[in-house]
Structure 1
């Protein structure tokens, strides 16, 4: 029996096993017709803390992280994970008590309660929706397809495509693998809902984390546990001005990026809002934070650093190459199955969360208060999958997938966070003032951070600094508009744990 046959056989066995265990756990659950929305998008409030932790971990940790961060081939990227712990603590202690008190299905539901306006909820929901549809979904299935191609040594098959004056080459094998991921992930999201997504996340997450640590060990063993010969700038955790994360960005935009991602992002918070109670949810979030401190930093940088010593600067191909070369055949099949599951769960988590935002915040508010949730969700999911597959072609041209994701999401993250900060910290802020500041923030960040703009990177500022500037500008503009146009003086009043729902709505 050939090595390739063993590898594929183990891959299929583990993949089917994860799906079977998920089916056994979810069988007979989630069929209540009383509240289809809660059942489909919050698993009926039935996720135990370990499923919350597992789903949060694997929703975030997928090929875009493992491939993209290792693709930078430097230790510095671990700072994203260390700072993420702060974001998780903020989620557990600040945001979750508020979401549970108001019995929210979506994070944006809180905005409607605070601003007394359904339109601001819908607009912010659609921005989140577009972020998942246009940024995360295509990035995840592209990076997953790239990893599988490198790991299974699938030959490339390039075709040249011309669009207007632009011409570029596309690897058809990447497209084919991405198509498989897209179809299977969509079916999972359509027929399983959040419960199936979270359970499969946890099962595959255990396998993925164990195998990722095995890869770290084998990578270190391959270089005799020595980083000799690797440039110092690839080993330091203190980035200079030309590095992907200059040290001073930790003092400005980095903390707010983490607050946005872990505290307000529906894809993450939806898992924490699906526990039976706030205590169970917080246990799950703290467990996810522990995993992020103890395991994740090592698995997202060490293989990349070692690959630099072994192969040189090979970018996003680093992780798939080192895994394919170092893992024994039988273990590579297990790891490929865990990675495939990670791709599918991150992809369908984004699908499920984006669909929740559309159904709860837009469709039910403006078109039909009591739609057939599974049927409507299936249609939206299918549409998002088609768009994501088309955009795989665009992401295939990226120099660094993780840096591209961070920069693109900056268009949305700080403007959206500004609305949450205003809503949670102030009374008497007009919703339209908040919306104007969001539009302003998207335009401002684009002008400051994208190379096509004549105002790109003023004073050489890093894009994380520009995120902080965007956030402050949005908050300031909203408060000024609120005072000048609407004659309302904002009153500081944090939605703290002692406020009841009625006082928060007032």
Structure 2
């Protein structure tokens, strides 16, 4: 039996075991909840903290992180992971209690309740859908396919592998809903963390823990003004980006909203924050730095090449399965959250209040998958996938975060003022990207956020004639009832 055949066999066995365990864990769970949206998109409110933490961790940690961040081949990118701790703490202490008190299925449902308008909810959901479908879903399956080719050296078309990832990931989401997604994420996450840390150790051993010869600017956590993350961005937009990503982004936050109680959800978020600070930073920078010393500046091919060269052949199939689990996790999480936003925020709001949730979600998912696959060749032309993704986030992140901030902190703000501010913010940041970027894009995100907040309040006061009242994070609604935990 050839080495490549053994790798493929191990790969299939590992993925098969994860699928079998997921099926056994989810079989027999209640699927006849009075609220089918809660059952399908929030696992019936039945995820324990372990599955919340596992799903959040692996949804975020995929090949766009491992390949993209290591592709920069510098220590500085660890800042993104370390700063994520702040975003997770804000989610746990600030946003989660509000989501649970308002009994939200989607993060954008909170906007409808605070602004008393389904239109602002639909607008923000549409923006999330756009960035998920056209940016992150294709990026995840592209980087997954790229890694598989770089690591194994198989002679296969990149698009073919991307299609396989898309179909398998969509199957989890359509057939099992969030429950199956979260369970498979958790078991796959253990494997990904173990193998990712193994690669860190093997990388360090390969250079005898000697970083000499590597330029100092690739080993620093304090970036200058020409680096991808200048140090002064930590004083402006970096933490706003983290708050947006972890606290309002449906793909991530949906997992924390699926626990039986807010305390159980918070425990899961705290565990995810611990994992992010202790384990993730080394996984996303050390292999890339070592690859620079061994091979030079090879960009997004760094992670796949160093894994292929350093990992013992008998483990390569296991590692390929771990990466596949990470890709499937991120992709199925995105399509599930995208389906949730379409069904709950758009279809039920404007087309049919009582659809067949499972059928409609399946149709929406199929459409999203086709679009993602079509977009893959475009991402194949990018020099640095992680930098591209962060810049594109700016189109929607700060306008949306400003909308949440105004809705949470103020009363008596007309939804039309919020919509105007969001649209203005998108156009403003688009002009920064494609016409004139006077400062680093993270600084411009910071500016965009405060401009959007100001625009909303000014339009509300001087055009719509309403006087906004600052209320802070006022408690509203009733606490969500506890449900049996998974």
- 2:166 partner SS: helix
Determine if contact 1:6/1:329 at 8 Å carries over to the other structure.
Answer: no
Equivalent residue number for residue 22 of structure 2:
22
Report deviation, 1:255: 0.5
Q: Does 2:461 correspond to 1:477?
A: no
What do the CA deviations read for 1:426-464 (whole angstroms, capped 9, x no partner)?
Answer: 0111111111111110111011123xx1xx212xx1000
147-156 vs 80-89, greater mean Cα deviation: 147-156
Measure how far apart 1:132 and its partner are. Answer: 0.7
Match of 2:181 among 197, 221, 226: 197
After TM superposition, the structure 1 = structure 2 runs for residues 199-278 of structure 1, keeping only pairs within 5 Å, are 199-278=183-262
User: Post-superposition shift, 1:495?
Assistant: 2.7
Instruction: Name the CA distance, whole Å, in 1 between partners of 2:289 and 2:441.
Output: 24
User: What is the deviation of 1:30?
Assistant: 4.0
In the TM superposition, 1:78-97 aligns within 5 A as: 78-97=78-97
Aligned to 1:53: 53
Please say if residues 30 and 40 of structure 1, whose CA atoms lie closer than 8 Å, have aligned partners that are also in contact: no
Q: Indicate whether 1:147 and 2:147 are aligned.
A: yes
Partner residue, 1:334:
318
Distance 2:389 2:59 in 1: 15
Q: 1 CA distance for matches of 2:222 and 2:122?
A: 41
**Equivalent residue, structure 2, for 1:407:** 391
Is there any run of 5+ residues in structure 2 with no aligned partner, and where?
479-486
Q: Give me the whole-angstrom Cα distance separating, in 2, the residues matched to 1:288 and 1:81.
A: 12
What's 2:484 paired with?
none
78-87 vs 6-15, greater mean Cα deviation: 6-15
1:493 alignment partner in structure 2: 471
* Cα contact 2:111–2:407 (8 A) shared by 1: yes
The count of residues paired between Structure 1 and Structure 2 equals 478
Q: Secondary structure at the match of 1:191?
A: helix
Partner SS state of residue 399, structure 1? coil
CA-to-partner distance for each residue in 1:462-484, whole Å, 9 max, x for gaps? 00001001111111111111111
What are structure 1's unaligned runs of at least 5 residues?
157-172
Please list the CA deviations of residues 238-261 of structure 1 after superposition, one character each: whole Å capped at 9, or x if unmatched. 000110000000000000000000
1:463 correspondence with 2:447:
no
Deviation at 1:187, TM superposition (A): 1.4
- Map of 1:274-289 to 2, 5 A cutoff? 274-289=258-273
Return the alpha-carbon distance in structure 1 between the equivalents of residues 433 and 373 of structure 2: 26
Aligned counterparts of 1:45 and 1:437: Cα–Cα separation in 2: 34
C-alpha displacement of 1:33: 4.9
After TM superposition, list the pairs within 5 Å mapping 1:276-425 onto structure 2.
Answer: 276-425=260-409
Does the CA contact (< 8 Å) of 2:33 and 2:44 recur in 1? Answer: no
Written as runs of structure 1 = structure 2, the 5 A alignment for 1:174-193 is 174-193=158-177
* SS across alignment from 2:154: coil
Shift of residue 409, structure 1, vs aligned partner: 1.2
For residues 322-361 of structure 1, give each alpha carbon's deviation from its aligned partner in whole angstroms, at most 9, with x where no partner exists.
0011001121111110110110110010000011011011
RMSD: 0.9
Give, in whole Å, the separation in 2 of the partners of 1:33 and 1:490: 39
